[in-house]
Structure 1
Amino acid sequence: MKLGVIGVGAIAQIMHVPYLAELPEADIHAIADPGENVVETFGDRYNVPNRYTESAALIEEQAEELDGVVVTTPMHTHAEVAVAALEADLHTFVEKPVAVTPEDAQDVIDAAAETDAVCMVGYMKRFDPGFQKFRAEVDELSEIDLVTSTVIPPDVGAVIEENYDIVYADLDDAFLEESNSKRQQQVEAAIGTDDETLTRAYEYHLESICHDVNALRSAFGSVERIDHVDVFKGWKYVTAQLRYEGDRRCILESGATDRKWYDERIRVDAPEGSASIEFSNAFIKNTPSDVRTKLGTEETTETQHTPSSDEPFKRELRHFLECIEGETEPRTPPEESKRDVELIADLIRTYDENGEANSVSR
């Protein structure tokens, strides 16, 4: 099937474009990126016949030829591009989060409802074999006492530079200024303030923890109450106490560091033991996640599982193609992503300058 790739930045160069080229069902028929140097480099490298510097031109001129598009542009453009693709009746895969504001996320949902085209959001953690094993281990526990989720990535730019030869777009200052202004306006609209610390916190942590917020939702249902939020070390750290369905309590921790290692994990404590997953570095291909169970009150049994090194990015793209073929429904629809955006915005909105948050029912 013929696909267009819109946005050929670092993660698309590392994951989406190479894996689409590997999948026998996929034919990269068109690409678009504002960096002409990127378009030409990857157009030549993957023999892509149709090349654009504007997403709108790709959609308008190729809508009749394409079966779908993969949208991997910056997050503040996700909704605009996804809506345009869906309005052209193109099956649409859009990277997470689906939008910066809940209102823009709703626009994507509305556009998807007006077409028979599939809309799927790129939450690749949901396709991680390790996460699927972790879900199965959690289901075996008698009850849940506490959930703890931690996301503290390293200096991502340094990781990418060390492992890949990325082609960065040659963009003029006016383009970058306009793009950054649009992003800032959306961030401020989402949380209802132009406070520099809080806007920076939302901008960073929205991208950082939306994967894990979505994974937690798939395992434990919706967040019904936010008990406490703290934002500290400037904007770099956010912690929250959440209540999921059935009064299941969760401690959520998100941070930003220049450290070398990737720290992303979920742990579930139960009366008889615990189950945990430590996710691998999302920017290094085919590195498996580790799942551990530790059981026993009188005797202790500890098991470590490394289910597979099959790459979650490739698995989610394969799933998208299966959805296009009508073989299944999207596992990660835009409605879920909108709820993730709403939750993360609520975390920042409910924080006050004293480091406390009002208890908020959702």
Structure 2
Amino acid sequence: MRFGIIGCGTIAQIMHIPNVVEIPDAELAAICDPAENVTATLGDRYNVPDDRRYAEPEGLIDDVGDELDAVIVTTPMQTHADIVERALTAGVNTLVEKPLAVTPSDADRLATVAADSDATAMVAYNRRFELAYERLARELADVDQVDSITAYAVDADFSRSLPDVYDLVQPELSEAFIERSTERRREQCKQAIGTDDENLAAAYDFQLEHVCHDVNALRGLFGDVTSIDHVDFVRDGYFGTAHLTFEGGERCVLQTGDSDRHWHEQFFRVDAPDRMLRLEFDHPFIKYNAATLSIRDGTTETVDRTYTPTREESFKRELRQFMQCVRGEAPVPTPIADAATDVAVIASLFDHADA
């Protein structure tokens, strides 16, 4: 299966490009990035021909879209809507990194485009492909009553650790290009939550990119969010607590934030009358760091179980699943319509926030 990678930044260099190269029935056929030094270095590193290295997504899609089996879109989130629409309209199967779009209106537009296209469209929520997440879903099928759900996700400053782990190619872009891109992103964030407040827009920018994984994973376990009962943001919106209710009546306390800490912490905890289940995710940028599920149960005695799967990479499982979907061998587990709902839920957190 021949892939084009649109956007060759951090997550593409760490996960998506190596995975395409490593999977036997996948091939890296074209790359695209506005930074010429990035496409030159990665093109040489992965043997991509000079005439298959592009600066603009439109060039890649228009020139070689009909020669590719799929594209993976890993550009900044403010560009997703236009690129994904162009790819799907051209009939190119598309895997796009989360979040789907910045504004709910753009996300809804893509849901319509995807529904009208014959191409396969899937959103890259790799946490959904953790083996321990799938085990949690199976364990929950035996839980008769859920008393409470706690979801906690607080980021560390990943930029401090990644250069010591990976040989990343840093883009060389003009100040004018960066300013245009930043302004476009800022304006979309303002539009998404209906504000002119720069600080609030910056908080939405962080929270959307940060907590969409958790919102989607929770919805995968418990269904749609039917109400947002309370939201409280502190530190200019960079740390928040929200109370959510899901369609089955389950109630969740969601805590989401940014920090200067050295460690990343992200977990789901489900409390039931006779047991507790805790799914803990590891550093999101370190390969083969699988999530772990811990279960404590018993009413007359305490029994502890820990499910630590083999070090199978969730991003690679996600790519294999997408390839199966393209071949018509499996349904899309993370469709664009679901991802559009995630964007709407996160924007709604700001509507419900205490003044």
Sort the TM-score into its range (normalised by shorter chain).
over 0.9
Question: 2:43 maps to which residue?
Answer: 43
Question: 2:340 maps to which residue?
Answer: 338
Q: What is the CA distance between 1:3 and its match in structure 2?
A: 1.2
One-letter code of the match for 2:106?
D
Q: What is the CA distance between 1:141 and its match in structure 2?
A: 1.8
Distance 1:14 1:40 in 2: 17
Q: What is the CA distance between 1:334 and its match in structure 2?
A: 0.4
Question: 1:15 maps to which residue?
Answer: 15
Q: What is the CA distance between 1:153 and its match in structure 2?
A: 1.4
Q: What is the CA distance between 1:299 and its match in structure 2?
A: 1.1
- Aligned runs of 1:1-362 on 2, under 5 Å? 1-49=1-49, 50-353=52-355
Q: What is the CA distance between 1:295 and its match in structure 2?
A: 0.7
The answer (yes or no) to whether the contact 1:142–1:271 under 8 Å persists in 2 is no
Q: What is the CA distance between 1:246 and its match in structure 2?
A: 2.3
Q: Percent identity?
A: 45
The answer (yes or no) to whether the contact 1:159–1:283 under 8 Å persists in 2 is no
The answer (yes or no) to whether the contact 2:245–2:251 under 8 Å persists in 1 is yes
Q: What do residues 166-194 of structure 1 show as CA deviations (whole Å, max 9, x unaligned)?
A: 11110001101110111011101110112
Count of equivalent residues:
353
Q: Which runs of 5+ in 1 are unaligned?
A: 354-362
Distance 2:300 2:95 in 1: 49
Secondary structure at 1:105 match in 2: helix
The answer (yes or no) to whether the contact 1:137–1:293 under 8 Å persists in 2 is no
The answer (yes or no) to whether the contact 1:192–1:349 under 8 Å persists in 2 is no
Q: What do residues 22-62 of structure 1 show as CA deviations (whole Å, max 9, x unaligned)?
A: 11111111100000000011111111121011111111111
Secondary structure at 1:294 match in 2: strand
- The TM-score with structure 1 as length reference comes to 0.96
Instruction: List structure 1 segments (4+ residues) > 3 angstroms apart after TM superposition.
Output: none
One-letter code of the match for 1:164?
Y
Distance 1:141 1:304 in 2: 17
Q: What do residues 172-228 of structure 1 show as CA deviations (whole Å, max 9, x unaligned)?
A: 011011101110111011101122332121100111110110000010011111110
Distance 1:265 1:64 in 2: 42
RMSD (Å), alpha carbons:
1.0
Q: What do residues 266-302 of structure 1 show as CA deviations (whole Å, max 9, x unaligned)?
A: 0000001111100111100001211111112221111
Q: What do residues 55-86 of structure 1 show as CA deviations (whole Å, max 9, x unaligned)?
A: 11111111221111000000111111111111
- The TM-score with structure 2 as length reference comes to 0.97
